[in-house]
Structure 1
């Protein structure tokens, strides 16, 4: 519990001094992975989210090392997820892999949100489709969307309504492991709105899509004040909705709820954070994957699809290792600031 609070406190202190978030905009990320395979294992497989350059980040100087037998970069056509894949067959020593890349982050608060009422581009339309919900859950989220957007006409106003509704109907639960399960129906029903970033973000996506707003999860790393050291605990999920006239707009209701918990704020006293995390922010963010929910990896993993894809994923003879437990997996993520 003290470690969880310390991580939240670091975010709080950094956000209270905005200059810290602007000090570093680039650095090198290194994954070090030692797959815990028992003696006599026949087949060890590893998938690692593979970041790409986009309008918000430049990825370069990618370096790969390890004792794997084969590796490659693959893309799942259904989810769009891109993975570094490595495989060991009858390994004689502990499977090891390192991946490093340099990143320049350009995430920033959007200066203006323009809603021109234009059509949704064909490549964005798939982000209107609900994923992983039962028919009953789809009906429930349709009712929630109607409530969240009541009296609001255009996309921007509706998105803001969803944002405020999600913040009002969720809360951060520090007892949740990792970033949560990312199951919106479960979050609002059996968990009474409690969860962490993957849970709260998934609720936003489900309500927004039910309201006719294209939306997707973003899975990555988020640092308030980036500095050289371990960042294994900085995994984070936020969301983007599509606004005709602007493009993809980032919002982070989960971090609003995190700051409310740390500062012991009631909703009426959290306006500063509601505005801070609406329409982007100046934190150091690295997107690893976007929209990768209900994922069948490439090459295909054994067993069911992943609810979401953000952490390293490994299987030993078809048995999935617990990616929520980096110490027993094992893996670390480190950052070296420029």
Structure 2
């Protein structure tokens, strides 16, 4: 790839990552980076209609100082009316109100990755027993709460966690449920009570036991959850899907039936953005699924135990997605 220089915050990719352009990009386009896993990062265009609700770091592309090079200048945007009162009353403070986004996103990522690693260790080490998805949810939430509260770096910061967080679409519907409503398995946030800024993360869980083999519908449900996670951009800065199973069928099965082979998240497999996944049986379990982002699937395998998959999902802008309530309701417990 042609050399480039970044002016601003560095994107979250490794020094040895391969950068791949997945859109036709021209001078002055606004672009962003998306991790595809396994040493690959995508550079794509951010569409104009998505500017107001985009969650992430954006850059404007321009020619570099040397021949056959280009530079990326970080772009920050604020649309009137501002969500942040300080930015509305004092525009000079705008840049400072935007700074916590990357810091809090990094902290939320660290919290999830730590909890995920400890959960795997405790289950496969035998210190906790998980028999179903609800048990998995509670154990992970307990670790998230304990570790997350350690990230409250000042008296004005609050780490919060909710289970079965209800959300409602003001228009359209969720493909998974066919309704305007959905519930997030685990929702965590870091809020600054002084600046009124809040950043959050949505987590969906799946737990497939060998004894309750529900194949191939389970594979479809995984991609359906990813589809939901991609729609949470208005209230989650980042999302994760965590799949646990004691059945190698999902991890390293040699092959699947051609009728359902589209729904494949085995170790080392990948999905390319906007590919259509179709259930080809006479009576399909669900409608075709198409995702907005590309993914690579990497399992944390454990011989004779429970295998885990953790997938980072970039939530796409969705201006019509809102909280059902500002506070938890019955059936939406906070820990």
Q: TM-score if structure 2 supplies the norm length?
A: 0.25
User: Taking CA–CA contacts closer than 8 Å with sequence separation of 6 or more, which of the two structures ends up with the larger relative contact order?
Assistant: 1
Q: Decide which structure has the larger Cα Rg and report it.
A: 2
Give the TM-score of the pair, scaled to structure 1.
Answer: 0.25
